[in-house]
Every structure is written in structure tokens, then in C-alpha cells.
Structure 1
Amino acid sequence: MTKPKSSTRTFSKRSTAWSLVGIFSLAFFGVYTGYPDLAELITVVGSAAVAHLVLYMGVGHLDMRSLIAQGLLDLRRKGGKPDV
């Protein structure tokens, strides 16, 4: 019996990290150049960063729920037989 390949989610980790780097570099550029509408820029950057992180955590939560539903992750018994 072969063990199913578990997802490491490296693509989503990298894409989230790089998008956050881009978002914060945009904010840093605005601060550095003295952008006149800096308050609006920081508001947009902050909400976009929070949206990226919430999306990443939501996908991770759904991945964990699917692992539990398949029986690949046993949080209660630690290796014992599940309740029937």
C-alpha cells in the first residue's frame, strides 16, 4: 500500500510571500518618494496584505479539513483505531 503524497503547498507559500513583498515594496516606495496620497496607499496596501494572508490561511484550513476527512490525520487517537 502506497502512502498518498501530501501537499506541502510550496507554490502557494511562495506566491503569497512574493505578492506580499511586492505590496510592501510599493508602500516603501510611496514612503520613500513622499507620495502625496500616502494615507490612501497605506490603506490599500494594508488591506491587500491582509486579504492575501487570509486567503492563504483559508486554503490551509481547507487542506487540513480534507486530510482529517480522509483519515490521513488523526488528531484524537494518535494512531489508534477511529470510533465507529
Structure 2
Amino acid sequence: MGDRWHVEVDRSVCIGSGMCVLTAPGGFALDTARQSHPTAPETDANEKVLEAAEGCPVEAITITLAHGGEVVFPPEE
């Protein structure tokens, strides 16, 4: 892909299912409150991180291009 992504988790929406951690090991972690967070807020474009965002049961994960801020996920309606 070649792009750099900025990854965010809306902690007010996150339910701590851990699906992101299982889908993209090393890309996300759960803290002691079972809230997800990206292990690195800026990362190379990565199919596993995108799969984790797509698979989040409450759509708490947002991915934007690191330079420019264009939305990668969720798709704009």
C-alpha cells in the first residue's frame, strides 16, 4: 500500500471485545480497563489493521491517512 495511517480508537465506544487484538496482533492492545488502543498511533498501511477496524463490533476504530487526514475507514456514506 505504501501509505502511512493514523489509527484511533474511540474509547467511549470501545466495549473491549478484543477482536482487534486477535485480528491484528501487535497493532492493538487492551489496557487494564479492557479498552483498546493502537500500539502505535501512526503506522504503515496494513491489511490486518484494516481488517481489525472492519471487524470491530461497535465500529470504534478510525483510520485516516497520516498526511492529509483523508478517511480510510470507516467509509464515508
- TM category (shorter chain) comes to under 0.3
Point out the structure with the larger helix share: 1
> What is the TM-score of this pair, normalised by structure 1?
0.23
Question: For the pair shown, which has the larger CA radius of gyration, 1 or 2?
Answer: 1
Larger RCO, structures 1/2 (Cα 8 Å, 6+ apart): 2
Point out the structure with the larger strand share: 2
